[in-house]
Structure 1
Amino acid sequence: MEVYLIRHTTPDIKKGICYGQSDLNLADTFSKEFKAIEEQIPNNKSYSIKSSPLKRCALLAEHLGNPVLFDDRLKEFDFGNWEMKSWDNIPKDELNLWMKDFVNFKVPNGESYTDLASRVLNFFEDIINSNSEQDLIIVTHAGPMRAFLASILNIPLEKSFDIKIQYGDVFHLKKDGNSWKLLSEIALE
């Protein structure tokens, strides 16, 4: 089974806003970004498509084909009380605690990065345990992608932000028995 792991295209939001699981529209650069994504996926195969249900992923997934199976485990980090706030307006004491231990600190009314990683790894474990050999497209967010890639590359979660992921990035993987093999090159900081 081959898998194309794709980050959604650029969202329509000002820089400096914490938006995790907020449902955002896409920027007007979508068509151009979509073409670049489409060029990286072989069109001589059929794919099953799974996606985060958040609009910025769902719209891309639906452009890639139908039907799309939506899975909440592919959602971005839940920033709870911080959603749609400017990073400058998040209470400094909370932000400092999070920055000190962003892997384990649970954002007020949100989740920890460990929580995100657990649900994402559960999703990928279900794929490994399935008997399906159907090639797959997965459309998701940078947080879930980093957590998964860190896992297969044996990078600790606290170092996972060294994995550079841009809007519209595509990573090619192969299911190899009960493990994953990354076929794409990956940029590390």
Structure 2
Amino acid sequence: MEIYLVRHTEPVTPKGICYGQADVDIKEPYLEIFQEIKAQLPTDAIVYSSPLLRCKKMAEFFTDNIIFDKRLMEMNFGNWELKAWNDIPLEEINPWMDNFVTVSVPNGESFKGLHQRVGEFYTELLQKNADKIILFCHDGAIRSILSHYHKTQLKDSFSLYTIKYGEVVKIIL
């Protein structure tokens, strides 16, 4: 089984803004970038996507036959959604920065929470009888899948994996 993990292209949100499950759009022009991404992907794959616009747009460029799954959404940043990282009170952000794996964002989730929901999706995916699968998703979901695949600690996922906007990561099972 080949799984292609595709991170959405650059969002319209300014640098320094927290956007997890906020449904933000992607920067234009993006059609040329989409063409480059499409050239890296098989045409005979089952396609899944996060339902958030920044992934949905890419998936719909690729095919009309998409399975949208909320478990592929980015981390829920709760009260911090669309706030500048610098405007988040230190008493809220410091505990999370010290232990983002298990500390939940106020009215949001922890990285462990994201990892559990993405892991549930990934486990189901492995049971499918498919040769090729494409996932249009987010940085957090991709890091989570790579942590499952490589059996690495969540706390190490940001030092081990760098996933650029529009990057395609292929894993083979």
Q: Are the counterparts in 1 of residues 46 and 130 from structure 2 also a CA contact under 8 Å?
A: no
Distance 1:83 1:98 in 2: 15
Greater RCO (CA < 8 Å, at least 6 residues apart): 2
What are the equivalent positions in structure 2 for 1:16-27 lying under 5 Å apart?
Answer: 16-27=16-27
Selected match of 1:114 from 94, 102, 112: 112
Alpha-carbon separation, structure 1, partners of 2:18 and 2:75: 10
Q: Quick one: which of 124, 137, 141 aligns to 1:140?
A: 137
Residue 36 (structure 1) aligns with: 36
Kept in 1: contact 2:42–2:132 (CA 8 A) = no
- The answer to whether 1:78 aligns with 2:73 is no
* Structural RMSD (CA): 1.1
1:91-145 CA deviation, whole Å, 9 max, x = no partner? 1111000011100001010001000000101101001123x22421110000010
Q: How far off its partner does 1:154 sit?
A: 2.4
- Say whether the 8 Å CA contact 1:7–1:142 is kept in structure 2: yes
1:50 paired residue among 48, 51, 54: 48
What is the aligned residue count? 172
In 2, Cα distance between equivalents of 1:53 and 1:151: 22
Shift of the alpha carbon at 1:30?
1.2
Deviations 1:5-32 (A, max 9, x none): 1001111110000000000111013112
My pick for the range that moved more, 154-163 or 110-119, is 154-163
Instruction: Give the 3-state SS of the residue equivalent to 1:18 in structure 2.
Output: coil
The corresponding residue for 1:178 is none
TM-score (norm 2): 0.95
Percent identity (aligned): 41
Q: Which whole-Å deviations, capped at 9, do the CAs of 1:63-90 have from their partners, x for residues lacking one?
A: 1112111000000000000000000111
Tell me the secondary structure at the aligned position of residue 172 of structure 2.
Answer: strand
Contact 1:49 1:66 in 2 (8 A): no
> What is aligned with 1:180?
none
> Is contact 1:10-1:29 (8 Å) kept?
no
- Structure 2's unaligned 5+ residue stretches are none
Return the alpha-carbon distance in structure 1 between the equivalents of residues 32 and 156 of structure 2: 32
Gaps of 5+ in 1: 176-189
Amino acid of the structure 1 residue aligned with 2:133: L
From 66, 69, 73, give the equivalent of 1:68: 66
Contact 1:98–1:107 under 8 Å retained in 2: yes
Counterpart AA for 1:114: K
